[in-house]
Amino acid sequence: MSHEIDRTPWHERLEAYLDGELDPDARAAFEAETAVDPRLAAELASRRRLRDRTRAALGSAPPADLVDLARDAARRSRDDRDGDRRRSPFHRFRVDRRWAAVALAASVALAILAPRVLRDMTGADGRRSSITRSGQLVALRFGDVPGETIELEAGCYHRSTGECR
Amino acid sequence: MTNTGSDPLDTLARDHVAAAYRFLRSLVGDAETARDLLQDTFVRLAPHAAAAGPGLVFATARSCAVDHLRRRTSRGRVERPAERDLVEARPAPREHGPDRALEEHEFRRDLLAALGDLPEGQRTVFHLSEIEGRSYAEIAAVLGVPAGTIASRKHHAVRKLREQLGRLGHES
């Protein structure tokens, strides 16, 4: 405790005093203050009695079987965990498997969505053409040539002739 | 695994079971639940057995107890096991001359019930300080609060306990 202790309520300092948390100066000041006030001295004695009684009530040794109970529970848990690791061929890749699942989901989404995006690409002239991912025209629109290879750009397409509007 | 003294779980259990159980008993109020939570605590501690000290043991036990108390509250069980006993714990008339053992039994029961009325943080501070003799710095680490708040929490906890015990006829 610091010099601020003088502003701390006496009962709060009482707890710190009994718990050995006051520094030597604060401890001496507390004892001096309490010694000259019979009311505080009686309060300190009462609190000490309660402390002793509380420790006797709640501080007793627990049942003897608890050590075995706790240790065996922990041991079973550890052995189960070790067993799981030995059994699973993927236990070394526990973290990697999560990322693999994310990557798989992303791949599936890409496989489903990519053709639609490509099919829905609209030319700069407003005409729509169905094309494959490799750029082959597969559906006829006015002016398109089946099997003709086109190059793709964002927002438009143009034939190998270089036409792009 | 071998069942020898070199197993860190042996050391962990031997050194910390008693304090962890007493702490859990104060936090949850009844012995049976404290036994269950003690097992949960040591299951959680098992991977860290070699490095676990009192701070980690108390923090883990508290975490188990808090989880349990939340579940109990969410299920609507507001009655604590000790509350039923509390009704019967009115002070025996002095003319009946209760013997000391009975008196101490009643005091313990009422103390546990009074502890149950405290906020969990104050209960933790009171038990770790009063019963286990832990320093305010250690308790602050268990609770994850500044050490400067412990004295105040302890004071409030003691004041409420004394009021409750006084109402039940115990010297406080």
Cβ–Cβ gap B155/A47 under 8 Å: no
The answer to whether the CB atoms of A57 and B45 lie below 8 A apart is: no
Looking at residue A151, what is its pLDDT? 53
Q: Structural domain tally of chain A?
A: 2
- Out of A100-104, A114-118, B4-8, B142-146, the most confident range is B142-146
User: Is A87 domain-assigned?
Assistant: no
In a domain, A93, yes or no: no
Q: How far A44 CA lies from chain B's nearest CA (Å)? A: 11
Check if the beta carbon of residue B106 is closer than 8 Å to that of residue B85: no
How many Cα atoms are found within 13 Å in the side-chain-facing hemisphere of A124? Answer: 11
Please give the structure tokens belonging to residue A156.
């438009």
Residue A23 domain boundaries: 3-58
Decide if pLDDT at B81 tops 70: no
A33 or A150: whose pLDDT is higher?
A33
Structure tokens at A140: 């006829």
- Under DSSP, the state recorded for B59 is H
B141: its two tokens: 């680490």
Question: A67 contacts in B (CB within 8 Å)?
Answer: 13-14, 17
Question: What is the arithmetic mean of pLDDT over A143-151?
Answer: 56
Position A158 pLDDT exceeds 60: no
pLDDT tier at B32 (50, 70, 90 boundaries)? Answer: very high
User: Range with the lowest mean pLDDT among A86-95, B46-55, B83-92?
Assistant: B83-92
Q: Give the whole-angstrom CA distance, residue B170 versus residue B110.
A: 9
* Domain assignments of chain B as residue spans, ordered by start: 1-78, 99-172
CA distance A130 to A136: 9
Q: With 60 as the cut, is the pLDDT of residue B84 above it?
A: no
Give the count of beta carbons closer than 10 Å to the beta carbon of residue B62: 24
Q: Is residue A79 very low, low, confident or very high in pLDDT (cuts 50, 70, 90)?
A: confident
For A:102-141, CB contacts with B below 8 A are none
Environment class of B126 (CB within 10 Å of its CB; exposed 0-12, middle 13-18, buried 19+)? buried
Chain-chain contact of B136 with A49 (C-beta, under 8 angstroms): no
Nearest to B126 by CA among A44, A28, A50: A50
Lowest-confidence pick of A39-48, A84-93, B112-121: A84-93
State the DSSP H helix or E strand holding residue B151, giving kind and residue range, or none if neither. helix B150-167
Of B111, B129, B165, the CB nearest to A58: B111
Q: How many residues are given for chain A?
A: 165
The interface predicted TM-score of the complex, written ipTM, equals 0.79
Confirm if A121 and A152 have CB atoms less than 8 A apart: yes
Q: Identify the CATH class of B99-172.
A: mainly alpha
Mutate to test the interface with A, among B6, B42, B108, B125 (most CBs of A within 10 A): B42
> Are residues A62 and B135, on separate chains, in Cβ contact within 8 Å?
no
Tokens of B140: 């602050």
Q: Given an 8 Å threshold on Cβ–Cβ distance, is B46 in contact with A74?
A: yes
Q: Which of A55, A71, A78 sits opposite B10 (nearest CB)?
A: A71
Nearest CA in chain B to A62: B18
Q: Determine the pLDDT at residue B57.
A: 95
The answer to whether A85 faces chain B, any CB pair under 8 Å, is: no
pLDDT given at position B16? 93
